[in-house]
Amino acid sequence: MKPFELFGVVIRTIGLFFLMAAITQSFMALLTSLIGGRGIAFTAMIYIVPSLLIALWCLLGAPPIVSIAYGSDGQDQSLDHSLERDAMEAMTLLKAGKIEQAKAIANKKNFSS
């Protein structure tokens, strides 16, 4: 599993915790309102709504957090760095006149031009 995917799992797990908290608070507010404490039930709703919003945001992947952690496109950048490094190696080999070795690197990584 790539770090980007693992980070997404962690964010969604946090969303599940907030969802469980909202469900628990909703259940407690329902019980309290049935007993007769409407003021307490309304106060509990103040905590339920933000918990539900945070849960939904995290379950959808929390795009701003992902963009801070993994760049603006939200993808793992390690693959791009390895391709860049191999392209530079192939260019160095071409400059040195080692065309066959550069072709082998290009074919191995499927560079296309």
Q: How far apart are CA 99 and CA 90, in angstroms?
A: 9
What is the structure's pLDDT at 71? 67
The set of residues, in sequence order, having a beta carbon less than 8 Å from that of 10 and lying 6+ positions away, is none
Q: How far apart are CA 62 and CA 77, in angstroms?
A: 18
Give the residue, 109 or 43, on which the prediction is more confident: 43
Q: What is this structure's pTM? A: 0.57
Rounded to an integer, the average pLDDT of 49-71 is: 84
| pLDDT reading at 106 higher than 50 | yes
